[in-house]
Chains A and B, each alone.
Chain A
Amino acid sequence: EAGVAQSPRYKIIEKRQSVAFWCNPISGHATLYWYQQILGQGPKLLIQFQNNGVVDDSQLPKDRFSAERLKGVDSTLKIQPAKLEDSAVYLCASSLTVGSQGLGEQFFGPGTRLTVL
């Protein structure tokens, strides 16, 4: 079974530029997550989708970050304009189930390492 795919793996941009990340979850996984992992910290959830609807985006900086999951499969995360503090690894994860009844194990992709200069 193929895992969660992400691209690009690395991206270097200058502040105030725009950038987009792509994620392809495991086939059949209804739930998709985007996390931001700053160096030396644990991942922090930015946004969670259930199919193509947003379940939780409370920690997404909506003035510069946006995400979509058209057709409930692939997802893109965009930053416009980028700031220095956005330098981090952006992890995508997917799970089969969500909610209180199931473990909802999350499978993580390898991440996209963003450096903002």
Chain B
Amino acid sequence: GEDVEQSLFLSVREGDSSVINCTYTDSSSTYLYWYKQEPGAGLQLLTYIFSNMDMKQDQRLTVLLNKKDKHLSLRIADTQTGDSAIYFCAESRTDSWGKLQFGAGTQVVVTP
């Protein structure tokens, strides 16, 4: 199967860390991505990780990849109200010509 699964909702207080989790089923995935979607807007690529990496850090964002468990997570440090959005996990494979398989998205609500 090619399902990508995410929890649907996360509430976090401003200034705390957010952790969004994702599981995927295809072991031949090459790149794994995190996209952000704000209301009325298209998807914005936040960060990505290549499948031979375990961790990637980019400013407030940390991506962890556990290939054995097919588990991907995104940690947002010092979460701000502007981080409120829907976050999508996606995977692509070398044999799929860039085709992205998305999860259903996690809605993150940041409260003051």
* A contact residues vs B (CB 8 Å cutoff): 4, 31, 40-45, 48, 50, 55-56, 91, 93, 95, 98-100, 103-111
How many residues of chain B are within 8 Å of chain A by beta carbon? 24
A29 to B4, CA, bound (A): 27
Give the chain B neighbours of A44 by CB distance below 8 A: 102
Question: In this complex, what residue of A is CB-closest to B89?
Answer: A42
Question: How far, in Å, is B74 (CB) from chain A's closest CB?
Answer: 15
Checking A95, A98, A108, A111 against B44 with a beta-carbon cut-off of 8 angstroms, the contacting residue is: A108
A45 to B100, CA, bound (A): 7
A109 to B100, CA, bound (A): 16
Checking A4, A41, A45 against B99 with a beta-carbon cut-off of 8 angstroms, the contacting residue is: A45
Determine if B30 and A100 form an interchain contact, defined as CB atoms under 8 angstroms apart: yes
Secondary structure at the A interface, as helix, strand, loop or mixed, is loop
Checking A41, A103, A110 against B104 with a beta-carbon cut-off of 8 angstroms, the contacting residue is: A41
Question: How far, in Å, is A54 (CB) from chain B's closest CB?
Answer: 11
Determine if B88 and A42 form an interchain contact, defined as CB atoms under 8 angstroms apart: yes
Other than the known A31-B98, A106-B100, what 17 A-B pairs have Cβ atoms closer than 8 Å? A40-B104, A41-B104, A42-B88, A42-B90, A42-B104, A43-B43, A43-B102, A48-B97, A48-B99, A55-B97, A91-B42, A93-B42, A98-B97, A99-B97, A100-B30, A100-B94, A108-B44
